[in-house]
Structure 1
Amino acid sequence: MIDFEIENKLITSDELHEFEVKTGISLPQDYKEHMLKYNGGSPLSYDLYFGEPDEGILLSGFKSIKYGTSLVEQKDYLPPKYLSIGYTETGYLAMSLDEKEYGNIFIYYSEAELTLLAPSFTEFLEGLVDYPDLFP
């Protein structure tokens, strides 16, 4: 189980619901649970990768619902119904809210294409591996 540092004030279920109503989106349940527990958050480890370290997907952290760097739809880079949810060392994480790919997690770099990482937020978290001895 990967733990995250709570960087922002935690949100309530009511605030999460208010976010969904205000934005007109419905977030996946697993993602809502994470947001209620951490409201974004950064990994406690500096060496937390999705996959192997040579793939270069080093997780920096997640955006918050409120009280920090908030979730926003990235209209400049992302297709409609995609939400920018976090950062990697060299790119960004997005979640699809599109009916066809609902809940899928992608990585993207600037205006480059989206690359699928995991079919759900839970599977993305399960794919994170801590490599504490990688850089002594």
Structure 2
Amino acid sequence: MVELVHYEKKLTEDEYTEFEKLFSAKLPLSFKEHYIRINGGFLAEEDVENDLWGLPVGGFNPIKYGKVTIEQLVSDIESIENPDTGEEYQEGEYVPFAYDDGGHTIFISLKEGDYGHIYLYDCDGESFFQISEKFEKFISRLYKN
């Protein structure tokens, strides 16, 4: 199970339900379970030094109660475009929930064609690639076995 440090105040079920209303579809249950358990957070320095992380994730954005929340990111980013295909993800069709070591956005798609897929997006539009097909697979790949 992923353990993070410096996470934000725990979310209530009501807060999560209100958050989910911002989007075009319900978020995957595994996403909800993760955020109800731990609202954002960073990798423990000891885990990084011991090379325990399987993916280059810098941390998770909190849904609320933090400096850079998911709610804020959704309104700041507005849309995301895949430079290879031209496909756009409009506000409400994606959830930016984490970032890599370079500060690039990691988001989950809520679009019908790729619902639940996890992507890495460089806000400069130079990088866009799929990391995982499901949130639970993404979480399971975070720690090296």
Q: Fold conserved (TM > 0.5)?
A: yes
Q: How many residues align?
A: 123
The answer as to whether partners of 2:23 and 2:94 remain within 8 angstroms in 1 is no
Q: Is the 8 A contact 1:59 1:87 kept in 2?
A: yes
Structure 2 portions without partners, runs of 5+: 82-88
SS at match of 2:113: coil
Per-residue CA distance 1:78-115 (angstroms, 9 max, x = gap): 52212211111122201101111111111111213420
1:54: which partner in 2?
none
- Percent same amino acid among aligned pairs? 28
RMSD of aligned Cα (Å): 1.9
Q: How does 1:105-124 map to 2 (within 5 A)?
A: 105-110=118-123, 111-124=125-138
- CA distance in structure 1 between the aligned counterparts of 2:94 and 2:18, rounded to whole angstroms: 19
Runs of 4+ in 1 over 4 A off after TM superposition: none
Which residues of structure 1 form unaligned runs of 5+? 51-57, 132-136
Which residue is equivalent to 1:59?
57
Q: 1:82 aligns with which of 94, 102, 107?
A: 94
The two structures have a TM-score, normalised by structure 1, of: 0.80
TM-score, scaled relative to structure 2: 0.75
CA contact (8 A) 1:5 1:38 kept: no
